[in-house]
Amino acid sequence: MNWLQKVIGKEWNITPAGGLTGDAYIAERQDRRIFLKRNSSPFLAVLSAEGIVPKLMWTKRLENGDVLTAQEWLEGRELKPEEMQHHHVANLLNRIHQSSELLHMLMRMGKKAVTSDATYRDVAAWSRQNGLLDQYEEVGRALQVLKELLPATYHQELVVCHCDLNHNNLILTEHGDLYLVDWDNAMIADPAMDFGMVLKWYVPMNDWDAWLEQYGVERNDSLVKRMYWYLIADALHYINWHKTRNEWHKVDERLGTLRELLNTYQSHCY
C-alpha cells in the first residue's frame, strides 16, 4: 500500500477494509479516520449529495488513470436482521426509489432499464445452457411460474434499485442516521425487486401491510406477484451462477430457497 501513502501522505496508517475487490481501505491519523476506495462509481457523488451514503470528502485521479475517493468515516454498526422491519428502512428505501437525481445520474452513466422480459429470456437461456432443466424439476417449474407471472410485471415505473438489500449493507450511526452502502449492483428496475427482498427475508408476513404502508404503497395481488417474480428470478440466477463455478453446496442452498419460494408463492397467489 506504499502507492496509497504516496497519494494521501505517510502520516496516515492504512489498513485494508475487506470486501471482494480488495480496493477499499481505512486510513487513520491521530483521532481522524477516512474510508478510501479505488475506482468507485461516479454514482457515489450523487448518493452522497442525497444523504444516502456517508459524505464524499474528495476525489483524486491517479497517474495510472484510476480514481481514488475518500468518504467520511462515521461510527456506527450494521443493522441487525430484526431491525430491517423498522420504519426507517421503509422510509429510506422510498426516498431512494423516488429520487429523480439518482435516476438521472444512472441514465447519464449509460445504465439501461432492466426489464422483466429481458431478465426472463436471460435466466431461461442460462438454465438451458447449464442443463438445469434436465437436472432439477423445480427449475422448470420456476421458469413456468415466471412466464405465467410476466404480465403482472408490465407497465411499472422503473426506478433506481440497490439490488442487494441485506442487513449488512445498512449502517446505523451512533447519532441515529441510517445509510445504505455497497451500490455496485445498482440498476434501473421495478422497485419490487428491492422491497420484495426486505419483506420476504426480514419481515413477518403478518407485518407486510404495515411495512408497505410505511414505504408508501398498498399491498395487492399484483404487487405480491411482482415480488415473487423477482425473488424467483433472483434464485434462478444464483443457481446458475454457482453451477458455473462448480459450487455445488451453494447450488443446493439456492435450490432449497427456490423450492420454498415456489411453495409460498402458490399459497399466496392461488
Active site residues: 164
Exposed / middle / buried, residue 88 (Cβ in 10 Å: 0-12, 13-18, 19+):
middle
Instruction: Check residue 156 and report its DSSP letter.
Output: P
Q: Where are the beta strands (DSSP E) in the chain?
A: 13-16, 24-29, 32-38, 56-61, 67-72, 76-78, 159-161, 170-173, 178-180, 187-189
CA 142 to CA 18: how far, in whole Å? 35
Alpha-carbon radius of gyration of the chain: 20
Torsion angles phi and psi, residue 35, rounded to 5: -105, 125
Strand partners of residue 179: 171
CA 183 to CA 164: how far, in whole Å? 8
Instruction: Check residue 42 and report its DSSP letter.
Output: T
Torsion angles phi and psi, residue 32, rounded to 5: -110, 140
8 A C-beta contact, residue 195 and residue 93 = yes
Q: What amino acid occupies position 122? A: D
Tell me the CA distances in angstroms from 65 to 42, 61, 62, 68, 73, one per residue in order. 14, 6, 5, 10, 25
In this structure, the number of other CB atoms found within 10 A of the CB of residue 138 comes to 18
Name the 3-class secondary structure at 184: coil
